[in-house]
Chains A and B, each alone.
Chain A
Amino acid sequence: MAQFISRRVGYCLLSLLLLSLTIFFFVRVTGDPAALLVEPGASPDDIAAIHHQFGLDRPLWVQYALFMKQLLQGDLGKSFYYQTPVMQLYLTRLPNSLILAVVAMGFSLLIGIPSGILAAVRVGRFWDSAGKMFALLGLSLPSFWVGLVMILFFSVYLGWLPSSGAGTPWHLIMPAFALGWYFAAAHMRLTRSSMLEVLGSEYVKLARLKGLPEALVIAKHAFKNALIPVLTLAGVNLVIMVNVAVVVETVFAWPGIGRLLYEGISFRDFPVVQGVVILGGAMIVMVNFMVDILYAVIDPRIRLEK
């Protein structure tokens, strides 16, 4: 187990290193960061001054070392627009994003799990086809469009829900639904396939051979086993939700991390954009790491593998 964990920690650190390299590389290769900072038409002297101020005139590896040093100290630079550290901005927005993600996750599980089970139990029949159609729609509708249509319907025509902002639980409903919609489809698909696999297992066959009522077979012997991969995915997806909420948060003006990213883009606030991407990637690497460890704790076979 210790060997397994140290190996995973190694992979995790390597991934983080590659992540920082990738981002650093793209920033330096694809353009001059200084050009992003100045107004169009700035004089070469101004640009040179900025180069010097940010250390852009030094060799690449020195720049990278500096970049890494600051990163390790939790320093992601200062926002051009807000003039506050990016880390601080990020942390003040994070709770909003988490609330939105948790509620959206609730929606997606509430829809995804029952419909997935129904589709698996009725495989090949009407509910299965209906579920497949639903899943395809979920994967095919852009979440921001779902959000816009909901605003049109519930805010403009019916006047039931506020169209943007935060503050009351009412503000949460539409963004959470728009965000959860895509994930509901994903969770439905996984629940269905996982349930089908469990229903085909020998222990479910034995449960039927015992003469248990079909409802008990599904509720006791299949449900619990089928849910394990779904809940694992849900854990990972929660973190992904925080990071893909950018469009939904933009549509509904929800003050989360996605909105921060959008503001960063609009104001050409480069440190904010870079910081959000780095932290998002790091969060996902960490979550994958934790899931690996968790799996190893649950399933002894994985530990032995390597």
Chain B
Amino acid sequence: MPFGTNVVNREARPAKSGPLLELQKLSTHYVSSRGTRVVRAVDDVSLRVNAGETLGIVGESGSGKSTLALSILRILPPAARNVSGRIMFEGEDLLEKSDAEMRHVRGKRIAMILQDPMASLNPLFTIGNQVAEPIQVHEGVKRVTAWERARNLLKAVKIPSPETRVTQYPHEMSGGMRQRIVGAIGISCEPRLLIADEPTTSLDLTIQAQYLSLLRDLQRQYNLALIFITHNLGIVAKMCDQLAVMYAGRVVESGPVSQVFNHPAHPYTEALLSSIPRMSDVDQRLTAIEGQPPDLSRLSAGCSFADRCPKAFDRCRVEAPPETSPGAGRTARCWLAPATVQPAELAAVGGED
């Protein structure tokens, strides 16, 4: 076992009743400085993630995926507001927490890996310093102990000769190695939930595959719940248990990956899936749908996908479809989705797989 002792001897916390993270009708809007323009970046999103499970969030760029992730950790740009909803994490609403309390959640209980490994390490501090930093801050341990753990973490993310690497600076490492280090920072305080925002987009293919399998190993070892934000459906097929498809700030469809892939309930999901020739083709991007996503500051009253939807009919343009459930543990926002279960019953069945 390659991990340091202090890393593996943790017990998974006794499962509380209910999911680890549950977003309830969360909305995050950007408001322009004069208040004249409101961009509904995240609108009425409900999602849940169970301990140890992986949720994939897919969507085109601009669909609100990243804003959603930042909303959960509450590090939004100043123009953004969490306007409504709840973020229940281990039974507590994160939106109710003070800034100081929130700091103990970030990095400690929920960690996040950013998109760009070249830019997310501070060029002026050593790797050891940056990996040990959250351990020192959150666990109040001495510098020596924190550095010892930093070395073990580098070992855990399979970086060769961690003893010398800790004293080096970011520019001395390759992109793949830096992203592993960012991963090591993510798991340094053994969080319950790790959010990865397109962590592999800037890596080349072989490194990408290695990194994904590393993330899966870490997830198993640490019993991590993972939210995987990507626009690559191939990765979702490989990595995820659950899938949420975002379009124009809303979750248009969600459910277990296999079910959504085999029987998509929303025309947008269908279009996404048909834009991939083969599921095994890892590098397929979601580009093959005609038309542009709508301007999020000027949404019509109807379904936001209506303009690009091949199946749209009159009702779609005047009335937005509510969230319904086309099957156990699934949701969809489409008038055509077979509504077998009403949203009220959704909570009872959701999250089982």
Contacts and interface: CB of A to CB of B under 8 A. Distances in A.
Bound together: yes
Interface of A: 123-124, 201-203, 205-213, 216, 220-221, 224-225, 300
A210 B75 contact: no
Contacts of B111: 209-210
A207 B123 CA distance: 13
A211 B124 contact: no
19 contacts: A202-B114, A203-B119, A203-B122, A205-B75, A205-B114, A205-B120, A206-B121, A207-B133, A208-B75, A210-B106, A210-B133, A210-B137, A211-B103, A211-B104, A211-B106, A212-B107, A212-B134, A221-B125, A225-B122
Contact of A212 (B119, B120, B124, B133): B133
Given A203-B121, A211-B105, 7 more contacts: A124-B78, A203-B122, A209-B107, A210-B134, A211-B108, A211-B137, A225-B122
A300 B171 contact: yes
Contacts of A221: 122, 125
A210 B73 CA distance: 10
B23 interface: no
Interface in B67-95: 73, 75, 78
Query: What's the dominant secondary structure at chain A's contact region?
Result: helix
B185 interface: yes
B182 interface: yes
A279 B75 CA distance: 53
Nearest to B186: A209
A227 to B, nearest CB: 10
B121 to A, nearest CB: 6
7 A-B pairs with least C-beta separation:
A211-B107, A211-B106, A202-B119, A210-B107, A210-B134, A203-B122, A202-B120
Contacts of B171: 300
Contacts of B105: 211
Contacts of B148: none
Contacts of B112: 209
B316 to A, nearest CB: 38
A206 to B, nearest CB: 5
Q: How large is the interface on B (under 10, 10 to 19, 20 to 34, 35 or more residues)?
A: 20 to 34
Contacts of A209: 73, 75, 106-107, 111-112, 114
Tell me which of A203, A212, A216, A225 has the highest count of chain B C-beta atoms within 10 A of its own C-beta: A203
A203 B118 CA distance: 9
Contacts of B142: none
Interface string B201-234: 0000000000000000000000000000000000
Interface of B: 33, 73, 75, 78, 103-108, 111-112, 114-116, 119-125, 133-134, 137-138, 171, 182, 185
Contact of A211 (B33, B116, B134): B134
Contacts of B108: 211
A223 to B, nearest CB: 10
Contacts of B33: 124
B131 to A, nearest CB: 10
Given A212-B133, A213-B103, A300-B171, A207 B114 contact: no
A206 B133 contact: no
Nearest to B134: A210
Contacts of A213: 103, 137
Nearest to B79: A124
Contacts of A300: 171
Contacts of B120: 202-203, 205-206
A209 B137 CA distance: 12
Nearest to B109: A211
Contacts of B124: 224-225
Nearest to A301: B171
Nearest to A205: B114
Contacts of B116: 202
A123 B33 CA distance: 12
Nearest to B133: A210
Nearest to B116: A202
A224 B105 CA distance: 26
Contacts of B125: 220-221
Contacts of A208: 75, 106
Nearest to B115: A202
B301 to A, nearest CB: 33
Tell me which of B112, B122, B123 has the highest count of chain A C-beta atoms within 10 A of its own C-beta: B122
A298 to B, nearest CB: 10
A221 B112 CA distance: 18
A217 to B, nearest CB: 10
Contacts of B121: 203, 206
Contacts of A205: 75, 114, 120
B288 to A, nearest CB: 30
B26 to A, nearest CB: 19
Nearest to B135: A210
Contacts of B78: 123-124
A123 B115 CA distance: 26
A201 B118 CA distance: 11
Nearest to A201: B119
Nearest to A216: B137
